[in-house]
Amino acid sequence: MTISIQVENVTKEFTMQYHRTLKQMAVASLKRLPLQEKFLAVNDVSFNVEQGSSIGLMGLNGSGKSTLLKLINGVMRPDTGIIRTRGRIAGLIATGAGFHPQLTGRENLFLNGAILGMSEAETKRKFDEIVEFADIGKFLDTPVSHYSSGMYARLGFSIAVHVDADVFLADEVLAVGDRPFKKKCMAKMQEIRQQGTTIFYVSHATASVRAMCDRVLVLESGRLNFDGDVDEGIRYLQYDDADDDEENEMDSELGADV
C-alpha cells in the first residue's frame, strides 16, 4: 500500500475584510466596529489517501473544499500541519485557472500544459487529442476571453486530464459543462482512475460521486467531520433528501451511464 497524499493536522487561516475603502475603514474604526475577522477555512484536518483510490470531497459552499485542494496542489501553503504528496499532480482547481484571457485557446493550451508540467514535445504529441476532447472547434484560435464558461471548462478539463499525473484533482469541474460533455468527462476520469491515478473529486452531484469514488470526505466549516463509505457520507450530508428534482434526475441519469 502506497500513500499518495498525506495530510496531517492542516490548518489554513483567512482574513475577512469588512470594508473596502479607506473611508469606510475610518468610519468603522471611529464607530469601533470590527475591521476584519480571522477564520479557519481548513481546521485541523488529517487524512491519508492510498495511491489509486478515488476520493469524493463534499460539503456546502464555503466549507473549505477548494482551499483544501489548493493546499494539496501546492498553490497555497498551510499555516500549520504537514502535507505530503507523491508524484505529479494535475487537475482543475478552478475553471480556467492559469488561462490568459488575451491568448487564444491554442496558445493557452501550450501555456497551461507547461504550467501543469508538460514539455512542449508532450503537449504537441497530445495536441490533437486535447483539442478533440475539448471540442471547441473553430474557436481554437479565438482569445479565450470570448469563450463561454462551458468552453473555458472544456478546454481546461481536457488539458488537465491529458497530463500523465499520479494525482488528479477536480474541483466542481463538471458544474458548468453541458450534459454530453459531463458524460465524456466522467468516462475519461473513470479511464484514468482505472490506470491507477489517485482522484480527488469535488462535487455536489451525488450520483457522480457514487459512480466515481470509493470513499467520501465531508468538510463542515473547515472541519473534516466525515471520512468513510460513499453512501454513508452522502447520507451524512442528507443530499438525497433534497427536493431539487431536476438536479437529482439529471444526476441519476449521469450516474447510470458511467
Ligand X SMILES: Nc1ncnc2c1ncn2[C@@H]1O[C@H](COP(=O)(O)OP(=O)(O)O)[C@@H](O)[C@H]1O
Binding stretches for ligand X (CB under 6 A): 14, 41, 59, 61-67
Q: How far is the CB of 59 from ligand X (least distance, A)?
A: 5
Q: Pick between residue 12 and residue 162 the one whose CB is nearest to Mg ion.
A: 12
Q: How far is the CB of 204 from ligand X (least distance, A)?
A: 10
Q: Pick between residue 171 and residue 251 the one whose CB is nearest to ligand X.
A: 171
C-alpha distance from residue 72 to each of 6, 7, 21, 142, 167 (Å): 9, 8, 33, 33, 10
Q: How far apart are CA 209 and CA 253, in angstroms?
A: 13
Q: Pick between residue 61 and residue 238 the one whose CB is nearest to ligand X.
A: 61
Provide the grid cell at 39: 477564520
Task: Print the binding letters for residues 28-67 with Mg ion: x by CB under 5 A, - otherwise.
Answer: -------------------------------------xx-
Q: How far is the CB of 132 from Mg ion (least distance, A)?
A: 29
Per-residue b/e over 200-221, b at no fewer than 16 CB within 10 Å? bbbbbbbbbbbbbbebbbbbbe
Q: Pick between residue 155 and residue 173 the one whose CB is nearest to Mg ion.
A: 173
Q: Pick between residue 49 and residue 72 the one whose CB is nearest to ligand X.
A: 72
Task: Print the binding letters for residues 63-92 with Mg ion: x by CB under 5 A, - otherwise.
Answer: --xx--------------------------
Q: What share of the chain is helix, strand, coil (3-state, %, to 5)?
A: 45, 25, 30
In the list Mg ion, ligand X, none, the entry touching 199 (Cβ below 5 to 8 angstroms by class) is: none
Q: How far apart are CA 237 and CA 219, in angstroms?
A: 10
User: Looking at the chain, which runs of residues are DSSP E strands?
Assistant: 3-17, 36-50, 54-58, 80-85, 89-92, 167-171, 198-202, 215-220, 223-228
Q: How far is the CB of 133 from ligand X (least distance, A)?
A: 25
In the list ligand X, Mg ion, none, the entry touching 108 (Cβ below 5 to 8 angstroms by class) is: none
- Give contact residues for Mg ion (rule: CB under 5 A): 65-66
